[in-house]
Amino acid sequence: MNTETNAVSCMKQTAQPTAALYAWTYRPDVDIVEMADEWQLSADVPGASAGDLDVNYERGVLTIHARVSDRQAADTRFVSREYGVGDYFRRFEIGEGFDAAGVRAELATGVLTLHLPKAARAKPRKIAVQAR
């Protein structure tokens, strides 16, 4: 029984409830891909809706916070409970090399996709080497 619980519980990494958010908070799995002109970050946030999602990029720190309320009443008779439902929160230090005004976010089928366009100066620039 223990091994099975471990196999599925590692799917959802939990963080201890913090003082500010008095509820269980979960750390969503992400994929981060660098393309030529932008970075794409995809996060698994099942159960979150667009209205309850906060994405913030400020001073080089990207913060994702989705408020998710319990889907079942507190007196629900659970037969088996393998995962909990709660807010999603994750923070990345990504530096200032992104165009904050151009950040786009999409939410579909429980996956949040962020497009972070590189700032002009962060794009690779070929430097000509002059021989002396």
Partner 1 sequence: MFTRNGFSFTGLDRVQREMGRVFTNVFDNLERAPERTLPAINMWETDDALLAEAEVPGLTMEQIEVFVMNDELTLKGRRSAPQTENGTFHRRERRAGEFTRVVTLPAPVNADAVEATLRDGVLTIKLPKAAEARARRIEVKGV
Note the residues at the interface with partner 1 (CB under 8 A). 1, 3-4, 7-9, 11-12, 29-36, 39-40, 42, 44-49, 71-72, 76-83, 109-111
Min CB(130)–partner 1 separation in Å: 30
Using only the alpha carbons of the chain, give its radius of gyration.
19
Task: Name which of 9 and 18 has its Cβ closer to partner 1.
Answer: 9
Task: Name which of 75 and 128 has its Cβ closer to partner 1.
Answer: 75
Min CB(36)–partner 1 separation in Å: 6
| Local structure of 121: helix, strand or coil | helix
Task: Name which of 125 and 132 has its Cβ closer to partner 1.
Answer: 125
Min CB(104)–partner 1 separation in Å: 16
Task: Classify each residue of 52-64 as buried b or exposed e, where b means 16 or more C-beta atoms within 10 Å of its C-beta.
Answer: ebebebeeeebeb
| Local structure of 107: helix, strand or coil | strand
Assess contact for 55 and 30: CB atoms under 8 A.
no
Task: Name which of 47 and 100 has its Cβ closer to partner 1.
Answer: 47
Min CB(58)–partner 1 separation in Å: 21
Name the residue with tokens 């008779």: 77
List phi, psi (to 5°) of 25. Answer: -125, 140
